[in-house]
Amino acid sequence: MLTSTFVLLQGVGPVTERRWWQDGVLDWHSFVNRPRIAGLSPDRKSLYNEDLSLALAAFEAGDFSSLAARLPSREHWRFYDTCRSTALYLDIETTGLSPHDPAGAVTVVGLYQNGSTTTLVQGDTLTTDRLQAELDRCTLLVTFFGSVFDVPYLRTQFPRLRFPTAHLDLCLAARRLGMHGGLKRLEQELGLERAPALCGLDGLDAVRLWSQWRRGDRSALDMLLAYNRADTETLVPLAALVYKEMMVRFGPSSATPARISHDALTASLP
The predicted-structure confidence for 40-83, as pLDDT tens digits, reads as follows 999 999 999 999 999 999 999 999 999 999 999 999 999 999 99
Domains of the chain: 1-61 (1.10.150), 82-240 (3.30.420.10)
What is the rounded average pLDDT of the residues 240-263?
74
Whether the per-residue pLDDT at 268 is higher than 70: the answer is: no
Q: What is the mean predicted confidence (pLDDT) over 153-175? A: 96
Kindly tell me if the per-residue pLDDT of 257 is higher than 80: no
Its sign, for the CA torsion 27, 32, 37, 41, is positive
Average pLDDT over residues 140-154: 97
Q: What would the mean pLDDT of 147-164 be, rounded to a whole number? A: 96
Helix (H) or strand (E) segment spanning residue 189: helix 183-190
- State the pLDDT at residue 259: 38
Instruction: To the nearest 10°, report the CA torsion of 97, 100, 101, 103.
Output: 130
Say if residues 81 and 243 touch (Cβ distance below 8 Å). yes
CA dihedral for 140, 144, 147, 149, sign (positive or negative): negative
What whole-number distance in Å separates Cα of residue 183 and Cα of residue 134? 23
DSSP structure class, residue 261: P
Number of alpha carbons in the 13 Å side-chain half-sphere of residue 252: 15
H or E element in which residue 32 lies: helix 28-33
- Banded pLDDT at 254 (limits 50, 70, 90): low
